[in-house]
A and B are shown apart, each in its own frame.
Chain A
Amino acid sequence: MVAAGIFLSLLILLILTLRRHAWPTVFFFFLSLALIVLLFLHHATDSLKLNL
């Protein structure tokens, strides 16, 4: 569901690129990027069962 949610935020970002203002695009871009990086880190480290 998290992955589907990120795709949904990308769909919102696409619609926001049509707006004249740049800030919503910038915000949703970094939100999507951060979520992709966090999900990548989750999948890269979850199976290692690290004890941090």
Chain B
Amino acid sequence: MSEMNEVTASHDEHPAWKLWPRIEFAILHFCVLAICAVLGGALWVQFVAGEYPCPLCILQRMAMILAAMGSVFVITHGHYARVQGFSVMGLGYGMSILAALVGLAIATRQILLHIAPGDLGYGSPVLGMHLYTWAAVVFLVVLLVSGLMLIFGRTPILHCPVCHEVESPEESNKKFIRLRWYSWAMFWIFGAIIFINVFATFAESGFHAFLPDNPSSYRLFEE
């Protein structure tokens, strides 16, 4: 048993493994910012190109935000191996996988609605494919990255505020977690994207419970 530990320890000391936590932390930030970029593109199509998102498009945005929430959780809690009995990586990537599966189901339904030859699809194509097809690609990539991170990720993993320091009792008693500036920047960008979506969706639905199947105006301002 002790020999096995020594073998593991010697592998852990390889310089490439020392660099991995930083790479992993960067990948997590990149994943959240990539989803922010996709959602930003969708908002650009909505407000600049003037195309109204249908209910399925809105649902895909929600699933994308939920999928990115897994990465956000690992970024904020990654310096712990476990939180209240939950494996941090298991919970974070599990959230991403479940949300991506739901999002993939929604995107697949919309693709199948318009897949018949001659159907022009909903909205304008971007780089040859419609936005809902790109959304399916995004959800597949989320599934792939989450699976790979579950295999190659390490806990406690990250080059984050407290992972190389001993946490003081005052710090560990605080309700909220301390983040570095670049994590805060990612957090605020992501928060802003969600906030804009709250108002964009409210403007489209107005005071009706559900969105129209084929929206042609912002009902909040029309009525």
Encode A36-50 as 1/0 by CB contact (under 8 A) with B: 110110111011000
Inter-subunit contact A20/B59 (CB<8 Å): no
Nearest residue, chain A, Cβ from B94: A29
Inter-subunit contact A33/B175 (CB<8 Å): no
Q: DSSP majority for the B interface?
A: helix
Minimum Cβ distance to chain A for residue B112 (Å): 11
Chain B positions 163-197 with a Cβ under 8 Å from a chain A Cβ:
172, 174-177, 179, 187, 190-191, 194-195, 197
Inter-subunit contact A17/B76 (CB<8 Å): yes
Inter-subunit contact A29/B210 (CB<8 Å): no
Encode A5-49 as 1/0 by CB contact (under 8 A) with B: 011101101100111111101100100110011011011101100
* B102 beta carbon closer than 8 Å to chain A: yes
Decide: A26 near B91, CB < 8 A? Known: A1-B209, A3-B58, A33-B102.
Answer: yes
Decide: A4 near B69, CB < 8 A? Known: A20-B83, A43-B55.
Answer: no
* B221 beta carbon closer than 8 Å to chain A: no
Chain B positions 47-81 with a Cβ under 8 Å from a chain A Cβ:
55-56, 58-59, 62-63, 65-66, 69, 72-73, 76-77
